[in-house]
Amino acid sequence: MSSRAAIAHEAVYPDNYFCEVPSDPCAIVMFGASGDLARRKLLPALYDLAVHSCLAPRFRLLGFARTEMSNEAFQKQATEFLPDKAPSGDGKAARQDFLQHLQYFTGNYDDGESYRRLAKRLEALDREAELGGNRLFYLATPPAVYPRIVEQLGRAGLAKPKNDGSWVRIIVEKPFGHDGASARALNAQLLSVFDESQIFRIDHYLGKETVQNLLVFRFGNGIFEPLWSRNYVDSVQITAAESLGVERRAAFYESAGALRDMVQSHVLQLTSLVAMETPANFDATAVRNEKIKVLQSIRPLDRNSVHKHVVRGQYGPGCVNGEDVPGYRDEPGVNRNSSTETFVALKLQIDNWRWSGVPFYLRTGKRLAHPAAEIAISFKSAPHMVFQGEAVEPNSLVLNIQPQEGISLSFGAKTPGTKLHISPVAMDFYYRRAFGAGSREAYATLINDCVRGDATLFDRADSVEAAWALVDPILDAWRSSPPPAFPNYPAGSEGPDAAFQLVEAEGRHWRPLP
Ligand code: NDP
């Protein structure tokens, strides 16, 4: 058993995730079911939903891929990352029960005959398990295959609901496009076959508990939102740091890089959640309408501002967690002269009334000193310091997304004693401590939302394209200028020197990685 599998087997599922009402019965067709994402993330997420009564007891999962496999072999493969424990009762029995809902289908993604057979198989499942014609297609193949699958689903008549009241939905894995043009082409193709209301573009960061809590924190409490503007905020930092290298995804990463892989999706999603206005209510349209306004208000970067405000890096050999690790160019599957960036730091300006003049500093990278995903709001200093000779750190509010989910508010406090000294202290909230449980895997949250038709945490066509519109000029500027001398940061560090200069030139500093 791999070490990852061992970790999954030890996972304890918290028991406060039961659903009062299960989803509609449905068939879930997972394209690319023989792959890494399906095994490591999607099947465990579905198990989580099944054992917490979130999926209808009659659901069926049909794994679709080219690899020849029997139902039994697929079920055996599916157990690799399932936890040993179940929230109630016997874990072994719960796993066995879940596996009985899993079937496998060998087919070719671009072969019409495969889809005609798929249609028949789905009809048979509908009859056998009374699924009512409800279907969820999950695209978990490499993105180049998506257009072929979408086209064939349309041709086979599988994209539209058959019966009144039944539904057909499709989840599209990230990355959504390689640039603005390919994202627009994919949107156009999806929308020629499905309606926008059927399309769920997934970004698993949005399923994380802390990310959702950001909205509750801002809009469910009276005291923070009035501070959330240029009147009180000095700057915002968003960090998505990984200590892992490129792992088994070199082929994908070589053609993507950190800007496409992380900034275009996760980091800009976080930016729009931090900066958005209050939605009229918490439904998908209202929330997504506010999010896209943020992306549309970000000042576009021209070639000159890319040069000044965007830093790219690539890791060289170094030491992470006491272990020597190779540089990016020495990773298996990576070009020895690769100019792919594994780190990006950038400064954005949001040109609207709320945020005018407040810099948003974003950074993401691989093989950094520690894994950390956080949003840090730095507040302005007190306007006048009455405590002579005492330097007081400005207040900051940090929303920790990974590894320890929580929120921390820092302020100055008098150090006990006869002299007046001020020290920074923090009020901390940790999910695990407050609620006695860690967070559910983001994929479980998002699939649960999708089978219930709630698209709030999914991306809309216009916002994917708006995010690419911000990233495309950076890609263009990079293409037309030589990359910096890579590698330019050692594995296990906090990134290239130029990233520090980006914020220090403006009298600020990055928060150290926790
Ligand atoms: P894999 O490379 O494991 O591919 C999934 C399956 O797709 C494979 O088992 C294979 O199945 C089929 N496949 C692979 N290459 C091709 C090809 N060139 N042509 C046709 N079919 C092919 O991908 P992942 O599971 O890692 O990722 C799936 C999707 O999810 C990707 O879009 C990825 O970007 C995204 N994603 C993945 C994450 C991860 O952690 N793995 C995280 C976030 C997103 P078969 O040969 O049996 O048909």
Q: Comparing C-alpha atoms, which of 201, 202, 215 is closest to residue 375?
A: 215
365-375 b/e with 16+ CB inside 10 Å = b? bbbbbebbbbb
On the question of pLDDT at 459 being above 50, the answer is yes
Collapsed DSSP state (helix, strand, coil) of residue 430: strand
pLDDT in tens, 118-152: 999 999 999 999 999 999 999 999 999 999 999 99
Residue 173 CA to ligand 1 centre (angstroms): 10
pLDDT in tens, 342-378: 999 999 999 999 999 999 999 999 999 999 999 999 9
Collapsed DSSP state (helix, strand, coil) of residue 513: coil
Q: How far apart are CA 196 and CA 170, in angstroms?
A: 10
pLDDT in tens, 384-421: 888 888 888 999 999 999 888 899 999 999 999 998 99
Q: Comparing C-alpha atoms, which of 225, 229, 219, 227 is closest to residue 353?
A: 229
Under a CB-based contact definition with an 8 Å cutoff, are residues 91 and 78 in contact? no
Q: Comparing C-alpha atoms, which of 320, 308, 337, 331 is closest to residue 486?
A: 337
The backbone region for 435, taken as left when phi is positive above 0, alpha when psi lies in -120 to 50, beta otherwise, is: alpha
Instruction: Please give the pLDDT value at position 86.
Output: 77
Q: How confident is the model at residue 8 (pLDDT cuts 50, 70, 90)?
A: very low
Let me know how long the chain is. 514
The amino acid present at 299, given as its one-letter code, is R
431-to-45, 208, 253, 354, 399 alpha-carbon distances in Å: 20, 12, 32, 29, 11
Q: How confident is the model at residue 162 (pLDDT cuts 50, 70, 90)?
A: confident
Q: How far is CA 328 from the centre of its chain?
A: 23
pLDDT in tens, 473-512: 999 999 998 889 999 999 999 999 999 999 999 999 999 9
Token representation of residue 282: 């918490």
Mutate to test the pocket of ligand 1, among 43, 141, 149, 366 (most ligand atoms within 8 A of CB): 141
β-strands 60-65, 27-31: how paired?
parallel
Region 306-329: mean pLDDT is: 97
Residue 54 CA to ligand 1 centre (angstroms): 26
Token representation of residue 18: 């039961």
Residue 470 CA to ligand 1 centre (angstroms): 27
Residue of the CA atom closest to atom 15 of ligand 1: 142
> Across-strand partners of 427?
409
Lowest average pLDDT, out of 18-27, 225-234, 260-269, goes to: 18-27
Q: How far apart are CA 499 and CA 309, in angstroms?
A: 9
Q: Is 421 a catalytic residue?
A: no
Q: Which residue has the tokens 């640039």?
A: 179
The long-range contacts involving 392-397, CB below 8 angstroms and separated by at least 24 positions, are 392/422, 393/424, 394/234, 396/511, 397/224
Residue of the CA atom closest to atom 33 of ligand 1: 142
Kind plus residue range of the DSSP H or E element containing 270: helix 268-275
DSSP label at 484? P
The amino acid present at 105, given as its one-letter code, is F
Token representation of residue 113: 């005959």
Q: How far apart are CA 416 and CA 288, in angstroms?
A: 48
Under a CB-based contact definition with an 8 Å cutoff, are residues 119 and 153 in contact? no
Torsion angle of C-alpha atoms 495, 499, 500, 505, degrees rounded to 10? 180
Region 450-467: mean pLDDT is: 97
Check 52, 101, 178, 266 and give the catalytic one. 266
pTM to 2 decimals?
0.94
